[in-house]
């Protein structure tokens, strides 16, 4: 149940975050999802990439991650989002700067909403 809820939260944040940023004109990032089904596919793809690809990339990038005091992890997250963008035809992210900002905001918003809606048992 927690997995499904986390999956839906990630897809919802991914779908509505670009709309909120465009509405408030906060940044000039260009992220677009054709519909909510594409956001669901994006959330599933990012989840699978986080399980299979991210540990390998994190292992090989460990020296750089240590040198940057963990900030290189943001680049790894952006790389995962960029790979997902490459595989999904119904979404588009223009440029690595947009990918980086989108992935950071996606992580922050998803973490906050998961802490609110998913209760951990003590």
Domain count across the chain: 1
Pull the structure tokens for residue 100: 């980086």
Instruction: List Cα–Cα distances, 13 to 10, 16, 33, 66, 86, in angstroms.
Output: 5, 5, 12, 30, 19
For residue 122, pLDDT beyond 60: no
- 104 falls within a domain: yes
Question: Tens digit of pLDDT for each residue in 54-84?
Answer: 999 999 999 999 999 999 999 999 999 999 9
- 111 falls within a domain: yes
- 122 falls within a domain: no
d(CA 10, CA 18): 13
d(CA 10, CA 110): 6
Residues of the domain holding 10: 2-117
- 63 falls within a domain: yes
Give the pTM: 0.90
């Amino acid at each position: 149940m927690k997995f499904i809820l986390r999956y839906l939260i990630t897809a919802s944040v991914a779908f509505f975050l670009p709309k909120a940023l465009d509405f408030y004109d906060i940044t000039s990032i260009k992220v677009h999802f054709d519909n909510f089904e594409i956001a669901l596919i994006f959330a599933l793809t990012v989840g699978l990439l986080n399980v299979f690809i991210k540990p390998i990339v994190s292992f090989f990038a460990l020296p750089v991650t240590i040198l940057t005091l963990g900030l290189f992890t943001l680049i790894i997250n952006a790389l995962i989002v960029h790979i997902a963008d490459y595989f999904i035809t119904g979404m588009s992210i223009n440029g690595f700067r947009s990918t980086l900002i989108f992935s950071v905001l996606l992580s922050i918003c998803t973490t906050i909403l998961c802490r609110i809606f998913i209760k951990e048992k003590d």
